[in-house]
Structures are given as C-alpha cells and as structure tokens.
C-alpha cells in the first residue's frame, strides 16, 4: 500500500457498509441500538442473534460508561457468537450524551463485539481506536461528513496518516 492510500479502518474491524451517519440518537442506549441494527442489516450479526448481541453491549455499558471524552465512545461487549471481532461506526453530528468524564457530547461511536478468545487483540484494538477517534475528533480541518462513505474514507485517511 502506498503511503497516501487509506488503510483498513481500525485494522479491518469496520467495513464501509457498517458506517452510520445519524442525525440523532435519544441517548446512548439508542445509539448502541442503531449500531447493532446496522450490524444486523450489513450481515455482521444474524437477525435471530440481534437481541443477544445488543444485550452483550448493553451489559458492558451498564457496568461503566464507555464514553471516553473528546467526543468519542467505544461501547463493546463479549459475544461468543462472533467469529472474530466486528464493529460498526456511528457519526452523530449533533452529539449523544454518553456520560463521558469530560461531559462533552459524543460524535464518534465505535461499537465492537468480540469473542472471548480474542480478548487480547480486543484490548489492543480498543487502545488504537481510542487514539484514532479522539485525534480525529480534534481535527480542525474536518470536512463535512454527511454520508457514510465520507466518514469511512476520511477516517481511513486519518488512520493511514497516524499509522495505527
């Protein structure tokens, strides 16, 4: 891959079909639901497994908020039905209250589902995602992000530039 070519968003965890641009979410629970539903619609989660996937993320979020501050959240859950770690990315231009420690509205939400067998890789993915999303949120020259493809392409370029 050439130095200026976008890399796989978050090391292949998110595919272009699993990116959502949503005008709003009532709260963090609604944002998570929207992202799990997108994962179902895009084929990452079988329809009959939607509730168990949703509950895996809800269970983790109930223990402690995954709002990182700086406009980012990474709700995630152990879900052994996943063949590997999978993710969906939401961009909420109007922000969502994820009860972040800094109190700022969350714009980028990365939802991850992973089997326990990939726990070590998941921890590394969380760290990389947190660095990428928080630095992307702080970009002063962020172009208008109105379509899923724009969000995916822009974030892929950010990842490539940061070499995460």
| pLDDT tens sequence across 14-72 | 988 999 999 889 999 999 999 999 999 999 999 999 999 999 999 999 999 999 998 89
- What is the phi-psi region of residue 43: left when phi exceeds 0, alpha when psi lies from -120 to 50, beta otherwise? left
How far apart CA 49 and CA 131 sit, in angstroms, is: 31
Residues forming a β-bridge with 76: 112
Which residue blocks in 5-118 are alpha helix, DSSP H?
A: 28-41, 50-63
Tokens linked to 139: 């970009």
Question: Candidates 3.40.930.10, 3.40.1190.20, 3.90.850.10, 1.10.1740.10; correct CATH number of 12-162?
Answer: 3.40.930.10
| pLDDT tens sequence across 106-144 | 999 999 999 999 999 898 888 888 888 887 776 656 677
The per-residue pLDDT for 11 is 62
């Amino acid at each position: 891959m050439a130095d200026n070519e976008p890399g796989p968003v978050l090391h292949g965890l998110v595919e272009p079909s699993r990116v959502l641009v949503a005008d709003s979410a009532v709260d963090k629970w609604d944002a998570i639901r929207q992202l799990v539903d997108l994962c179902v619609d895009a084929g990452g989660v079988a329809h009959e497994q939607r509730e168990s996937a949703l509950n895996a993320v809800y269970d983790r979020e109930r223990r402690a908020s995954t709002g990182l501050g700086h406009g980012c959240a990474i709700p995630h859950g152990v879900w052994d039905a996943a063949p590997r770690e999978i993710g969906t990315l939401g961009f909420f231009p109007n922000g969502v209250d994820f009860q972040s420690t800094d109190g700022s509205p969350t714009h980028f939400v990365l939802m991850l589902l992973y089997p326990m067998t990939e726990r070590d890789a998941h921890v590394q993915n969380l760290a990389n995602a947190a660095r990428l999303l928080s630095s992307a949120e702080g970009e002063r020259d962020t172009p208008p992000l109105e379509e899923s493809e724009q969000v995916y392409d822009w974030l892929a370029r950010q990842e490539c530039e940061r070499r995460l």
